[in-house]
Amino acid sequence: MFGGPVVGLGYRVRFAGRTWTVAALADGQVRLVAEEGEVAAVLLSLLFADAGFEVLDAPGVPRVPPLGLLESLPETVRERALAWERHVQEVETGQPGGPSDAGPRRAEYDPQTRTMTQREEAKAAELSAAGMPTSAVTVRRMRARYRQDGVWGLVDHRATRPRTALGRADERVVTALREVLETGRERSSGTLGRLRVYTERLLAEQYGEGVVRLPSGATFNRLVHALADGRGLLGSARQRRWRSARPAPPFVPTTVMAPGELVMMDSTLLDAFVVLDDGVVERPELTIALDVATRTICAAVMRAKGTRSVDAALLLAQMMVPAPMRPGWAEALAMERSVVPYERLLSVDARLEGAAARPVITPQTIVVDQGKVFVSSSFIAACESLGISVQPAPPGNGPAKGHVERTFSSINTLFVQHVAAYTGSHTGERGQDAEGEAVWTLAQLDDLLQEWIICGWQEREHDGLRHPMMPRCALSPNEMWAALVAVCGYVPVPLGREDYIELMPVKRQKINDYGIRIDYRTYDHKVLNPHRGEPSPAADGLWEIHYNPHAPGQIWVRLPKPDQPRGYGWKAVPWIHRTLVSAPFTDFAWQHIKRTVARRADRAQHEHDLALALRELLERAAAGHGTQREKIVAARARTAATDGAVWGILYGRQPQAEADEPGEDVFGDSEDDEEPVTGDGALSIWPTEHTPQSDSPTGAVQEAGLPAPRRPQVTVYDPFEESLRW
């Protein structure tokens, strides 16, 4: 039998705080006799349930020898233990191979004619004569070990002592060194000499000067490596931060079975220079959305530095709308030429006619880092309005969104390194004059990237994409999407003009006599007259305002309108100095002006001075004058304003707010009626026949009635708190 101690006749047990002897076992009961002669009959279940129950003198339970541990021993130690096993068995049974050995017995070990003491003395004499001095006491001790632990009891346990990389180092030194290493996780990298100085200083503070001495330099360095190498405490500062942010193992792989079930978003600076206006050279910023199930790059937005929450909202819009074919693209990039079931999908979604071979994926859950762009209230509110869950990743934890991080690396190696003005992944890999090689504008590089995504990424096989029926065949993102959409289905999500405005950043403010003031910019229009000084029907009494940081020339206000199906309408309200500053600008340029122009008068005059300074800055930069900083600000403003036509990718025009009297504007010539810029930097435009009507059902806008203030928290659980538990 193998297992724990057993209860048998004659065994002594401890029960109810007393010592008893087992006298009988029958029918689930046990008869116990106490040392004083008292007899008791107890149920076995009650006996075993007693907290102090113990079998005091049960015989040893045989166990399987630890063969794995024997294999780990040095060969000489293992052979010596096996030899002792043969000697012990011969002493006890007369046969070197144990009772099963049918060979002849030697007379000196015959149990029928020799006592155990005589056999022990004979074995001791035999071993001593063979060159291994041994006494009968040693043979008797080895027999006892063998009875208790089997072969493992015959092993020379000096060879089984646990080894440690720390050797015989002073525990106080080890503790102090560990503390110094942990403290230095977030600090800049230093030498081992600095660690020695800090450790010596810490020991002096804790135990006194000179009480605990450090080992020699070589021994100390070996001790440092023994403590730090396995925990990543001696790598680069970036590696140390990565390991400290990594969640505790074990790591469970994420299983995603449907397109859009899990989408990851992130931004990074591209390792290449682009040419902005006036010859300004700068690295652009790329933001992508990656579908984990199909590895599809659902959308990609390239900006000059300064990605805003409206750019993240643009990704949402791009994902849900088919990508149109751009001028100059080969017909092979069209969806009808790809592996996607085009004819079947076209019967469901007419927008796919003439589209490029990029899947249309509606996200269910989006994983983002905790950057300001992705955790802003406007982006979370936009996701909530579209029924999308947002799950922030743990702070500073890249592996939590490893798929999108790996995709950035692939974009760098498969596309960016072949682009002129490639910078390398760090300054040590940068060429001598990378900036001088820059020839592509931001719009041109974006066009190249969008084309490469369709022909280079979506058609490329990925080792991580496998069909259950063809596990040995790697699939491309388009092939994986075609396989999954046949199982999961396809439901088009048409977006209307209201949806675009809903995706913009949100503010809640009062409507005053002078209009609406945002960051020293005043917006006013006669449509605000009935609501000046009046509270909104919302719970907080504030009016909902949406704005575009890439085009601060106007804002949109949600105002009641009973004749509309939803009970409200969006009104465009222009900046009062829009005619003074006719050139495109962004909030980035405005913030630069605010930092450089001192306030010398009241608020209204200061706003006028800011507008004049902004116009002069844009004019100087356009003429090739001004400082390098001013040229960069102006170049970013023009690039973002031209390339930021978010509405263009959906309907080919900017969102147009309703007006009480069409055609009228406070300035006489409404900017809302102008066609969007469609030059070199414009985004893709849909043909007119695919333009949805402004009153098309969206399913993303709230029902009739002015909604309550948007709240960024999730009602089921706090995703930010959840990210810390990953």
Mapping DSSP to helix (H, G, I), strand (E, B) and coil, where does residue 628 land?
helix
Mapping DSSP to helix (H, G, I), strand (E, B) and coil, where does residue 301 land?
strand
What pLDDT does 664 receive? 36
Question: pTM of this prediction?
Answer: 0.60
Burial class (CB in 10 A: 0-12, 13-18, 19+), 471: exposed
Two structure tokens written together for 199: 């450790």
What does the pLDDT look like over 545-593, one tens digit per residue? 888 777 788 898 988 877 766 667 888 899 998 888 888 787 777 888 8
Buried b (16+ CB within 10 A) or exposed e, 286-303: bbbbbbbbbbbbbbbbbb
Separation of CA 716 from chain center = 21
List all residues 6 or more positions away from 149 whose beta carbon is below 8 Å from its beta carbon.
63
What does the pLDDT look like over 179-218, one tens digit per residue? 998 888 878 888 899 999 999 999 999 999 889 989 898 9
What pLDDT does 696 receive? 35
Two structure tokens written together for 379: 């982006």
Two structure tokens written together for 87: 């000697």
What pLDDT does 666 receive? 31
List all residues 6 or more positions away from 170 whose beta carbon is below 8 Å from its beta carbon.
212, 215
Give the C-alpha separation, 449 to 408, whole Å. Answer: 13
Low-confidence ranges of the chain (pLDDT < 50): 1-3, 642-715
Partnered with residue 557 across adjacent β-strands are 545, 571
Burial class (CB in 10 A: 0-12, 13-18, 19+), 55: middle
Give the C-alpha separation, 356 to 335, whole Å. Answer: 5
What pLDDT does 719 receive? 67
- Residue whose tokens read 């055609």: 663
What pLDDT does 367 receive? 92
2: number of Cβ within 10 Å = 7
What pLDDT does 67 receive? 73
Give the C-alpha separation, 545 to 549, whole Å. Answer: 13
Two structure tokens written together for 62: 């045989």
Buried b (16+ CB within 10 A) or exposed e, 225-257: ebbbeeeebbeeeeebbbeebbeeeeeeeeebe
432-to-283, 329, 419 alpha-carbon distances in Å: 16, 34, 16
Mapping DSSP to helix (H, G, I), strand (E, B) and coil, where does residue 513 land?
coil
- Residue whose tokens read 């003439």: 354
What pLDDT does 669 receive? 33
Helices (H), 623-647: 628-643
Write the DSSP string, 395-420: TT-GGGGHHHHHHHHHHHHHTGGGST
